[in-house]
Amino acid sequence: MSSQTLKLKGRSELGIAALLGAVGGVVVWDALRLSVPYSHSDPVGPRTVPLIVGGLLLVCAVLLAINVLRGGRGEAEEGEDVDLSHPSDWKTVVPLLAAFLANILLIDTLGWVISGTLLFWGSVWALGSRKYIRDGLISIVMSVATFYGFYLGLGIHLPAGLLAGVL
C-alpha cells in the first residue's frame, strides 16, 4: 500500500464530508439559478434560506474533513442496544426496501391509501409481525388517517388512484 492509502485508512468519515459538500454545492447552485423578480414587500426573497442552508452544509463539510484529517473519529454508538459486531440483517432490510419501492412505484396508479396500506403492512411484516389481519386493519386505518391528515390538516392532496370517486 502507498503511504497516501495508509494515511486515509479508517477515515470513512471523509465520505460523509464529501456527501455534505456535494449536497451543499447543489443547494447553493440551485438557489443561485432561481429567477426571482425584485419585490419591495419582500427584500429577503426566496434565495436567502437555501443559500444559508447550502453555505452551512459547505462549512460543515469543510470542518468535518479537517477534523477527520487531524485524527478525529466518530464514536461507536453506545446508546442503542445493538451489537455492532453482527452484520446487517438482509432478511429484514430487503423486504423493507421492497415495501418502500413498491410504494414509490404504485402510489400514482393505485393511490396513497392502497400503496400506503401495502407500505405499512409490508414494513411490519418485514420487521417480524405475523398477525396478518390485525396488521392489515391497522395499515388501512393508518393509510386513510394519513390521507385525510394531509388533505384536511395540511391541504396536500395525495393521489387517490383507484379510490378517486370514493375518497
pLDDT digits (tens, 9 = 90+) for 3-45: 555 455 567 889 999 999 999 999 999 999 988 777 666 667 7
pLDDT digits (tens, 9 = 90+) for 125-164: 999 999 999 999 999 999 999 999 999 998 999 999 999 9
Give the residue numbers spanning the domain of 51: 3-69
Mean pLDDT score across all residues of the chain? 88
13 and 61 in a single domain? The answer is: yes
pTM for this model (two decimals): 0.58
Query: Number of structural domains, the chain?
Result: 2
User: Taking the mean position of all CA atoms in its chain, how far away is CA 143?
Assistant: 19
Whether 141 is covered by a domain: the verdict is yes
Residue 47 lies in a domain: yes
Q: Residues 6 or more apart from 103 whose CB is under 8 A from it? A: 115, 116, 118, 119
What is the distance between the alpha carbons of residues 13 and 32, in angstroms, rounded to a whole number? 29
Helices 112-126 and 132-148 pack at an angle, to 10 degrees, of 140
Task: Compare 110 and 71 and report the one with higher pLDDT.
Answer: 110
Q: Is residue 84 part of a domain?
A: no
Kindly report, residue by residue over 40-60, the tens digit of the pLDDT: 666 677 888 999 999 999 999
